Amino acid sequence: MLETRYRAARALPLATLPRPAASGASVSVRPAGAESRFSLRARLGGGAPTLAGLPLDAPINTVGTDGEVWIARLGPDEWLVGGPEADADLLQGRIHEALAGLPHALVDVSHRNVGIDVSGRQAAAVFNAGCPLDLSETAFPPGSATRTLLGKAEIVLIRAAAAPLYRVECWRSFSTYVHGFLNEAVFGAEGAVAP
Partner 1 sequence: MLLIACPHCGKRPETEFRCGGQAHIARPADPMTVDDGAWSEHLFVRANPKGVHAERWCHVHGCGRWFNALRDTISDRFIETYPMGAKPTQFPQSETRA
Among 86, 93, 154, 162, which residue sits at the site for partner 1 (rule: CB under 8 A)?
A: 154
Q: Considering the complex, what minimum distance in angstroms separates the CB of residue 171 from partner 1?
A: 12
User: How would you class 153 by CB atoms within 10 Å of its CB: exposed for 0-12, middle for 13-18, buried for 19 or more?
Assistant: middle
Closer to partner 1 by CB, 90 or 149: give it: 149
Query: Under a CB-based contact definition with an 8 Å cutoff, are residues 107 and 85 in contact?
Result: no
Q: From the CA atom positions of the chain, what is the Rg in Å?
A: 17
Q: Considering the complex, what minimum distance in angstroms separates the CB of residue 132 from partner 1?
A: 4
Give the sheet arrangement for strand 70-75, strand by strand. 22-23, 28-31, 113-119, 165-171, 153-159, 144-150, 62-65, 70-75, 78-84, 35-42, 104-108
Determine the Cα–Cα distance for residues 178 and 183; give it in Å rounded to an integer.
Answer: 9
Q: Considering the complex, what minimum distance in angstroms separates the CB of residue 61 from partner 1?
A: 6
Stretches 44-52, 82-90, 142-150, 161-169: which one binds partner 1 (CB under 8 A)? 142-150
* Range 22-61, binding partner 1 (CB under 8 A): 60-61
Query: Under a CB-based contact definition with an 8 Å cutoff, are residues 85 and 91 in contact?
Result: no
Among 18, 45, 101, 132, which residue sits at the site for partner 1 (rule: CB under 8 A)?
A: 132
* Range 77-116, binding partner 1 (CB under 8 A): 78
Assess 75 for contact with partner 1 (CB under 8 A). Answer: yes
Name the residue among 94, 143, 78, 87 with its Cα closest to residue 110: 87
Per rule CB under 8 A, count of chain residues that contact partner 1? 13
Among 39, 92, 119, 148, which residue sits at the site for partner 1 (rule: CB under 8 A)?
A: 148
Footprint of partner 1 on this chain (CB under 8 A)? 60-61, 74-76, 78, 132-133, 146-149, 154
